[in-house]
Amino acid sequence: MIVALLLLLPRFAAATPYYAFTERASTAYEQILRLDMDAATATLSAIKTKEPENLVYHHLENYRDFFELYLSEDDQLLEERLPLRADRLAALEELPEDSPWRNYALAEIRLHWALIRLRFEAYYPAFRDVNKAHKLLRDNAREFPDFLPTYKDLGLLHAAVGAIPPQFKWGVELFSSLNGSIEEGRAELELALADKSGPFYRETAVLHALLELHLNGEPDRAWGLVSALDMSPKTNKLHCFILANVAMRSGRNDRALSLLEAQPRDRGTQDFPYLDFMLGLAKIRNLDTGARVHFQSFLLRFDGRHFVKEAGQKIAWCELLLGRESAYRNALAEVGRRGNATGGGDRNAENEAISGRLPHLGLLRARLLFDGAYYERARREIDAVDPNTLNDHEQLELTYRTGRILHGLKDYSGALSFYERTLTAGRHDESFFACNAALQAGLVEEIRGNKERARHYFEQCLELHPEEYKTGLHIQAKAGLNRL
């Protein structure tokens, strides 16, 4: 027995855990990003069987769980998968400390779970995971400065921290390792992009484009970046989402419509109901009431909590555009029965349902056309509104939306005039009009190179606390200040 054990000992000693992005790992990763979860699970099982010491399995399995949980918002699935988080972290901690993949994979798992927890509104453990991930990435950058994947996540964290608005500063103060700026994060993401042959190149490129879009105020640059990538929106739902999302946020509503109309609808991959929500948005922004069927499809297929109230509101708006006031009120009555009102769009929908206030049809049409970047059509709609027929709230909305439309048409002087009027009249109003007018005025002055005026308006935005959209507006204002 002793001789037998001694003969086996070299084999046991050789069984050291390692991390390698092998051909099977690359296959599993691509399958996950296609949302082909059954195929990915089978490939991951093959890795576990045939490469038992390759701990890439735990990292990629967490990728799979992230997408399944984030897209479905399934509470039961969360309860099933949460215990696996600790097992994966424990397994990856067995990697040799001289491997740069160790801290990187540990940090990624924590970041994935931070995003999942934010989605499920568990803020304290999310901040805790972000803090620990940041420390791991910071140590990795110090010990392995040439390991470029580290800078993908580090750059994202530093940019995000630079845009945290005041109401979330408690999280940064509680976890003091977090610091950074948008410019620092941008530089780190660009450094990570030097790894063109690495497995995470496209993911890094997408994150870089989204930073340009959301935090750096460069929507056209973001569109150029994602358009240059080798994407397959007709066969890959995530690719369709990325391209359509950037198109809609950079004034390319018609392009988004064509992408979303051609979205893949195969049943063999993870369902992605939000693509139909986006298609509904793209259509209603062109005043196409056929949008209603897509919002209904989203509500039938999605059991989560976000965007549900907003989808109900948009169905009601379709009825109003068709002149069916009774059907509008019936549809809006459904808004309070599902979902929650934590997000800006959902809160706006719930407030509309509670108020019982019928939207002014001309202002609604102008709003939708503006959101679709159909600025000339929006201007014709707003010009046709008779101010003498409006109540005080509608008068404020008319002033605000006129400024927005002039901004879209690049009439910056005119836009600033109406933004100032909105700020004067709406500073104490519960709506978001004044807060966004301050933000947009800051963006105009930033474009014109008037940094002090831009700073003044961004600070005004942060001083206002509307009932709706506050967090998103404050993030953008804080990002503007960070850029200045």
**Which residues, 6+ apart, have CB-to-CB distance to 159 below 8 Å?**
180, 181, 182, 184, 185, 186, 189, 211, 215
Record the tokens describing residue 98, joined without a space: 């001289």
Give the predicted TM-score (pTM) of the model. 0.91
Place of tokens 């976890």: 175
One pLDDT digit (tens) per residue for the chain, 484 residues? 454 544 444 444 446 999 999 999 999 999 999 999 999 999 999 999 999 999 999 999 999 999 999 999 999 999 999 999 999 999 999 999 999 999 999 999 999 999 999 999 898 898 899 999 999 999 999 999 999 999 999 999 998 876 666 556 556 556 556 777 888 999 999 999 999 999 999 999 999 999 999 888 899 999 999 999 999 999 999 999 999 999 999 999 999 999 999 999 988 899 999 999 999 999 999 999 999 999 999 999 999 999 999 999 999 999 999 999 999 999 999 888 888 777 788 888 898 888 888 999 999 999 999 999 999 999 999 999 999 999 999 999 999 999 999 999 999 999 999 999 999 999 988 899 999 999 999 999 999 999 999 999 999 999 999 888 888 899 899 889 988 8
Classified by CATH at the fold level, domain 360-484 comes out as 1.25.40
Burial class (CB in 10 A: 0-12, 13-18, 19+), 89: middle
Rounded to whole angstroms, the Cα distance separating 207 from 192 reads 11
Q: What amino acid is encoded at 264 in this protein?
A: P
Nearest to 272 by CA among 247, 236, 308, 229: 236
Specify which residues 54 forms β-bridges with: 18
Domain locations in the chain as residue ranges: 18-226, 227-272, 280-358, 360-484
Record the tokens describing residue 284, joined without a space: 């209603």
Classified by CATH at the fold level, domain 18-226 comes out as 1.25.40
Domain 18-226 matches domain 360-484 at the CATH topology level: yes
